[in-house]
Amino acid sequence: MNDNYGEQIKRYRINLGMTQNQVATELDVTPGYISNVENGRTAMSLRLLIYYAKLMGITLDELVGNLEPDYIASSIDNALMAEIKKLNNEEKEKLLKTIKLWKK
């Protein structure tokens, strides 16, 4: 995670108008834990990141992408590949032609 991880977590909380105590209650952790996360002394577990994203009204991809910009590219690549795998060969050929036209 990047150096601003805790600051960004704090910014989300403040933008929602929540206190550390309120977030701690919602995530079933102590206010001290939230303080440690926001001050960069500890990182949230995946489970807590999932709950935190839900609490903030965003997806985990959005949260992690905002916390770790390099993640966005791999997330988009993975989503594209998953959709491409669902296509039959004829659809893949059409997509490839479309991409080639689009890039000109």
The packing angle between helices 46-56 and 5-15, to 10°, is 30
**Average per-residue pLDDT for the chain:** 85
- Long-range CB contacts (within 8 A, 24+) of 23-31: 23/52, 23/55, 26/51, 26/55, 27/51, 27/52, 27/55
Instruction: Please indicate whether residue 60 or residue 97 has the higher confidence score (pLDDT).
Output: 97
The phi and psi torsions of 83 (rounded to 5 degrees) equal -70, -40
Region 58-85: what's the mean pLDDT? 73
b or e along 24-41 (b: 16 or more beta carbons within 10 Å of the residue's beta carbon)?
beebebeeebbebbbeee
Q: Kindly state the percentage of the chain with pLDDT values over 90.
A: 43
* pLDDT for residue 20: 95
